[in-house]
Chain A
Amino acid sequence: MPPITFEDERIAMHHGAGGRAARRLVEGLIVPAFSNGALNELGDAAVIDAGGVRLAFTTDTFVVRPLVFPGGCIGSLAVHGTLNDLAVSGADPLGITVAFVLEAGLATAVLRGQVVAMADAAAKAGVPIVAGDTKVVEHGAADGLYINTSGIGIVRDDAELSPTRVRPGDQVLLSGPIGDHGITIMLARGEVDLAAELASDSRSVLALTRALLDELGPGVRWMRDATRGGVATVLNELVAGREIGVLVEEPRVPVRDQVRGACELLGLDPLHVANEGQFVAVVEAGAGERALAALARVRGGEGAAIIGAVVGEHAGRVVGRTSFGARRVIDVLVGDPLPRIC
């Protein structure tokens, strides 16, 4: 594949949307400057060798609006997001750090609420918040409150997760119904006049990834949390430039009716909508049912499903098989999911 370059004159919103534009920014401008083995893998967390111990290290910044939404808030999201990056890297988290960017004028009660939510989320996952930083910027220079979290953990001995271990015949699992977070945020912003009984799926997936690794060990080949850009984007990243493809059986992809309905109205594909508590896992051929059973024993793992398989055809592509047996390409999102109205 030709090297990715970034020639855009300015940064625009779609460069942050987790789609193709964001990927160009990262791989065309940022990664080349820092290039090194741990970074270039572009995993959810970097894996660093520390004298025989594999350390997983990750960082993420949260800029969600509104700060509080059904099912979560920026604080819990910031803890879950970083924990999940460690979880899908097969790591047991040791600790996380937090950095706040606060806009002058922010009500203390709002900040206190977020700090409490972070403490709760971390305690629930049994992971300490071990360091932090605060900065205050002028009124108008930030949107209330931004949070960065970083996390460090030790990769389990039985975890051998790598896209290079994925081969035809492997099964593709999804941990539960998709699109809840993205659609909840869209509705919570009040931009769409729709009401739905729906909450963000923001949660730690640590218990689920642990159950999966306990059951299958190295039989789990690859995992990724399906945040911005959705399931379609992470699957495309898995197969890009490789001699494998993914065939998704579309009727098997779990999507709640409320999400399907909103997506129908707005012309969005649930496979492109963001999640904050779901991940995709590839397990070795034939291990899918055992994996599902292991997930189902954990609270919150009942909705997991086998959604497809890795195939030797369609190299580099994610292909969906519709309920009618027809096939279509499931591509990466270009920028933000823009609703189709007219």
Chain B
Amino acid sequence: MKYVDEYRDAERVRRLGEEIARLADRPRPYRIMEICGGHTHSIFRFGLHQLLPANIELIHGPGCPVCVLPPGRVDLGLALAERDGMIFTAFGDMMRVPGSGGSPLDAQARGADVRMVYSPLDALRIARENPDRTVLFFAIGFETTAPSTAVTILRAREEGLRNFRVMSNHILVNPAIRALLESDELRLDAFIGPGHVSTVIGCEPYGFIAGEFGRPVVVSGFEPVDIMQSIAMIVRQLNAGEARVENQYGRAVAWGGNRAARAAMDLVFTPRASFEWRGMGEIAGSGLAIREEFALFDAEQRSDGAGPAASEPAGAPCGEVLRGVRKPCDCQHFGKACTPEHPVGALMVSSEGACAAQYRYADVTIRASR
């Protein structure tokens, strides 16, 4: 398959593994966080961590949108939809994410009209086809999906649709990285930068990671060759005592990103003062709210009350896993009380979540010892 097979070439990956082992010959750890859940998924799916020398440690970051969504947001979205008899629409990723009163799939089993969509435009189509119902699109994702939500809202306004609402749970990647870097319990040497987010925002916004915090960043593609190349680039920077932003994913990411996508985002969204992340708490400027001009389409501005509040299950150390302080398999719930079928924390829900990725694709040795 074109554009995929050449990046999964076994010989290239093997040679890169050897190169990394040669480069990482210093008696020091190389602690590298892959921010994006897509990278976490690839690393486990292809077993890339098994091809790295022992002193390279991959730490799984908070870049999985459904994993960092606090349960209160799920509760609020479902409550709004169920109270007003709306059609609740969301991506497949969201369907199993537990709120305190269950997931969207649980709500569907209770009789709520919950539908999976592949794009916000599908939700708009459902609104068009059901003029006597109101359709709620439960929007999630980083800068990757926010532009498509924005374009959908713009189109709804153009078409004069009055039965379409969006609940924005869009979040921004850089405020979260800053929060990680400013926390003192975490020690990271470098970052594998998000691939999809960077197609929109480009590479420049990561400058603070290198400039202010002295940590290298390499924006990476998602295939095995991409990730191994990025790790080699990071190790070279660390060995040379450098901290720069580099772009390994040039075939998809332009240094300046996608201006049109950002323009649509800026037109429709405005940063919230603060937004709650599961496991990380409130992070300033990290969420996107729908601007007042588009209040007609904003499920939150049109709802009367504040949402139900819910916190993580007691004793679930999801936050520590999200911050990279603890590994999934070091959690007392991992694989026992908390499994993909009965997730205690959201990291077990999405296949991009560090826990689900490790559970599903884990190192055979980790699973076997449990």
Q: Report yes or no: A340 in contact with B350, Cβ–Cβ below 8 A.
A: yes
* A341 contacts across to B, CB distance below 8 A: 91-93, 118-119, 141, 145
Question: What's the dominant secondary structure at chain A's contact region?
Answer: loop
Q: Report yes or no: A326 in contact with B362, Cβ–Cβ below 8 A.
A: no
Q: Report yes or no: A339 in contact with B118, Cβ–Cβ below 8 A.
A: yes
Q: Report yes or no: B1 in contact with A326, Cβ–Cβ below 8 A.
A: no
Q: What is the chain B residue whose CB lies nearest that of A247?
A: B364
* B106 contacts across to A, CB distance below 8 A: 12
* A10 contacts across to B, CB distance below 8 A: 109-110
* A297 contacts across to B, CB distance below 8 A: none
The verdict on A12 contacting B109 (CB below 8 Å), with A329-B361, A342-B145 known, is: yes
Q: Closest Cβ of chain A: how far from B96's Cβ, in Å?
A: 7
* A326 contacts across to B, CB distance below 8 A: 46-48, 50-51
* A317 contacts across to B, CB distance below 8 A: 364, 367-368
Interface size class of B (residues with CB under 8 A): 35 or more
Size of interface on A: residues with Cβ below 8 Å to B: 35
Task: State A21–B96 Cα separation when bound (angstroms).
Answer: 13
Q: Is A264 an interface residue (CB 8 A)?
A: yes
* A342 contacts across to B, CB distance below 8 A: 65-66, 91, 93, 140-142, 144-145
Q: What is the chain B residue whose CB lies nearest that of A261?
A: B1
Q: Report yes or no: B93 in contact with A319, Cβ–Cβ below 8 A.
A: no
Q: Report yes or no: B1 in contact with A21, Cβ–Cβ below 8 A.
A: no
Kindly identify which residue among A21, A314, A338 contacts B92, using a CB–CB cutoff of 8 Å.
Answer: A338
Q: Closest Cβ of chain A: how far from B340's Cβ, in Å?
A: 5
Interface string of A260-303 (1 = CB under 8 A from B): 11001001000000000000000000000000000000000000
Q: Report yes or no: B351 in contact with A267, Cβ–Cβ below 8 A.
A: yes
Interface string of B53-66 (1 = CB under 8 A from A): 00000000000011
* A192 contacts across to B, CB distance below 8 A: 118
Q: Is B295 an interface residue (CB 8 A)?
A: no
Q: Is B203 an interface residue (CB 8 A)?
A: no
Residue from B47, B108, B122, B140 with most neighbouring chain A CB atoms (10 Å): B47
* B352 contacts across to A, CB distance below 8 A: 340
Q: Report yes or no: A335 in contact with B351, Cβ–Cβ below 8 A.
A: no
Q: Report yes or no: B341 in contact with A334, Cβ–Cβ below 8 A.
A: yes
Q: Report yes or no: B10 in contact with A264, Cβ–Cβ below 8 A.
A: no
Task: State A14–B341 Cα separation when bound (angstroms).
Answer: 10
Q: Report yes or no: B340 in contact with A314, Cβ–Cβ below 8 A.
A: no
* B367 contacts across to A, CB distance below 8 A: 317, 329
* Nearest 5 pairs of A and B residues by beta carbon: A326-B47, A338-B92, A12-B109, A342-B141, A341-B91
Query: Can you show 11 pairs from A to B with CB atoms below 8 A apart?
Result: A322-B46, A323-B13, A324-B10, A325-B51, A327-B47, A328-B45, A328-B46, A328-B361, A334-B96, A339-B118, A341-B93
